[in-house]
Structures are given as structure tokens and as C-alpha cells.
């Protein structure tokens, strides 16, 4: 690495990254593993580990937003604290944090804007509000693969003109993975419309909400009112919002967490900014799965940018990260 490089960004995944058995590698090697989930389970009045590990056939509940959001936040916070406590890096070693949707809450916890329990309360509130609105509005989301953003937006505009119904781009994940969102009936019609225009690779997601659209306005307002009563701290590490596309301090966090429910997640623009403008070249995904790592890899390869990408899904991944960081920090010290 040359002297101009070596910036670390930690990124935190959102809903959809959950899976049965996530975090199983850490049960025996992270002393606090169960204590984090015990706090979360007490709040939810449900045994989250039984759900995550599919005990007594409870695993189906992990797809329910009530449980998936809290479970992802809890595991992300646990892994985050393990890495910091075991001196993988200190806060001054990390240039910035960013999250994908729900991941904002994990990122803000990591930046000490609130403590773990306060974050649990926030995520629990968010999940319940989103579950409640789905009882009145059956939503749907789907990933459109292999087609660029401009083409999708153009077809959705034609769909609106022809049917008088609107379906929204919810996530701009990478150049050929765009998530659309809306009312289920409208989505089903829009999917057929897209296929009729030659856009055929469309995969419905396992969610029943219309996230990141104006349809979530009531949830967003309720979250904003809830957050107003909290005493948030200023981020101790730069927090970059993937919806508002900028660094945000404590006075703006309420509006960020409100607007991310009704606005597009601009993951491509976020990663482009961090790579090109900030010259970040080390990205570490903190939490279950490898979704964000894959997105960043495709964005960097499309732009012929050499970067280092790590995830923390399993202990073997953490061991690889440790080897890299030990080498990296020794080199930094020598300089």
C-alpha cells in the first residue's frame, strides 16, 4: 500500500441478511454472546436464539420483520464490540461507518450515538411499526437483476403513465442489482410490465413491506417522534448516510432515520464517494452474511479499483481479517 491509502470503513447490513444459524461460530468463542441476545430476548419477550437456531421449529419467525431486525442489530453489535474490545482496531483507526437501511442503527451504535439497549429499543420500535403498517397495506419488494438504473426508471415511468399506479426504486445496490418496492398488486402488475419490456430477471424478496417508499410515511413520522425524546450523542466516528449521501451529526440523525424509511438507499453512490472522493480502500462488513461485501466488490471491479474487502460472517473470516490488519498496522507503524 502506498502512503496515501489505508482508510478503513465499517459497513453494517440490513434486513435480508438474516439466515438460520447465523452467528453459530461465535457461541463458544465470544464470552458475551448469550448476554447480548438475552437482553434482546427479554425486550422481545421471545427466545431469539431459539428462533435463529430453529429450535422447536421456530426458525420461520426469523423472516418476520419483528424478529429479523432485532436479531441482525444484536449480532452486528456483538461482532462490532468483539472486534473493538479485542483490539482489531481502535476508533481512531476507522475512517467512517455506514449502514444499509436497518444497518444505520448498528453503525450509529458503533459510533456511540446511543448504547446497546437504546439501540434495541429503537430497532424494536421500527420493526413493530413496520409490521403494523403491513396489516393495513400489503407491500412487496423485488430485486431486478441485469438491467441498469436508467432503464428501470424509464420503464417504471411508462408503467405509471399507463396504469396510474406508482412503483418505486427502493435500493440502488449495484449497477445491475436494483430493488423496486410498492403495494403488492401494483408490484405484481409492474413486474409483468417490466417482463413485457424484456426485463425478465426479477426476484421477489422475502419481505411483506414497501420499504424506502413514500408509502412508509406514517412509520417515518412515528419514528421521528420517538427519536425526538432520545438524548443522542454525536458520532465518535464519522457516520455516512447512504440515503442522504453525506456525513451526519447528532442534530440530523432523527431526520436521517426518518427519511431512510421513505427514501431510496443509494448504496452505489455511497461506495463510489468513499472510493473515489475519500480514497477508502479497506471495507469491512460487520454482521451476518456477505451481501454488502459482494456489492462493494462488484462496484469496485466495475470501476477497476483495487480495494480490500472483508466480512465477519464466520470466525474464519475474522481470522483472515486479523491477519490482514496485523500486517497493515505494522506497516503503518513502520512508516
Q: Select from 177, 23, 37, 42 the least CA-distant residue to 100.
A: 177
User: 222 and 130 in contact (C-beta within 8 Å)?
Assistant: no
- Note the Cα 123 to chain centre separation in Å: 12
Which three-class secondary structure state does DSSP give residue 199?
coil
Distance, CA of 57 to CA of 38 (rounded, Å): 20
Alpha-carbon separation of residue 212 from 66, 102, 168, 171, 262 (angstroms): 17, 11, 8, 8, 4
- Is residue 100 part of the annotated active site? The answer reads no
Provide the CB-side half-sphere exposure for 143 (13 A, CA).
12
Selected catalytic residue, list 17, 41, 68, 212: 212
Residue 20 backbone phi and psi in degrees, to 5: -60, 130
The DSSP bridge partners found for residue 238 are 96
Selected catalytic residue, list 17, 71, 76, 101: 101
Q: Which residues are catalytic?
A: 101, 212
Amino acid at each position: 500500500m502506498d502512503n496515501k491509502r489505508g482508510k478503513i470503513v465499517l459497513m453494517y447490513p440490513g434486513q435480508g441478511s438474516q439466515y438460520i444459524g447465523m452467528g453459530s461460530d461465535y457461541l463458544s468463542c465470544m464470552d458475551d454472546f448469550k448476554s447480548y441476545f438475552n437482553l434482546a430476548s427479554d425486550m422481545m419477550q421471545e427466545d431469539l436464539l431459539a428462533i435463529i437456531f430453529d429450535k422447536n421449529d421456530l426458525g420461520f419467525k426469523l423472516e418476520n420483520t419483528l424478529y429479523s431486525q432485532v436479531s441482525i442489530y444484536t449480532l452486528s453489535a456483538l461482532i462490532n464490540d468483539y472486534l473493538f474490545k479485542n483490539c482489531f482496531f481502535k476508533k481512531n483507526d476507522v475512517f467512517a461507518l455506514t449502514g444499509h437501511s436497518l444497518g444505520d442503527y448498528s453503525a450509529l451504535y458503533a459510533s456511540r450515538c446511543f448504547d446497546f439497549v437504546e439501540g434495541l429499543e429503537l430497532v424494536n420500535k421500527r420493526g413493530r411499526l413496520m409490521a403494523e403498517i403491513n396489516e393495513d397495506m400489503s407491500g412487496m419488494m423485488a430485486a431486478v437483476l441485469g438491467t441498469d438504473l436508467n432503464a428501470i426508471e424509464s420503464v417504471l415511468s411508462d408503467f405509471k403513465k399507463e396504469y396510474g399506479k406508482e412503483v418505486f426504486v427502493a435500493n440502488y445496490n449495484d449497477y445491475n442489482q436494483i430493488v423496486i418496492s410498492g403495494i403488492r398488486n401494483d408490484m405484481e402488475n409492474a413486474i409483468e410490465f417490466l417482463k413485457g419490456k424484456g426485463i425478465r430477471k426479477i426476484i421477489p424478496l422475502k419481505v411483506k413491506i414497501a420499504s424506502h417508499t413514500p408509502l412508509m410515511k406514517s412509520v417515518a413520522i412515528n419514528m421521528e417522534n420517538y427519536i425526538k425524546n432520545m438524548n443522542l450523542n454525536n458520532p465518535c466516528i464519522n457516520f455516512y448516510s447512504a440515503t442522504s449521501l453525506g456525513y451526519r451529526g447528532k442534530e440530523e440523525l432523527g431526520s436521517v432515520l426518518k427519511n431512510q424509511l421513505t427514501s431510496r438507499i443509494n448504496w452505489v453512490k455511497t461506495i463510489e464517494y468513499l472510493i473515489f472522493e475519500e480514497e477508502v480502500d479497506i471495507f469491512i462488513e460487520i454482521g451476518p452474511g456477505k451481501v454488502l461485501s459482494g456489492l462493494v466488490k462488484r462496484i469496485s471491479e466495475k470501476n477497476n479499483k483495487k480495494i480490500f474487502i472483508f466480512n465477519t460472517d464466520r470466525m474464519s473470516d475474522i481470522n483472515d481479517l486479523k491477519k490482514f490488519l496485523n500486517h497493515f498496522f505494522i506497516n503503518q507503524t513502520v512508516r
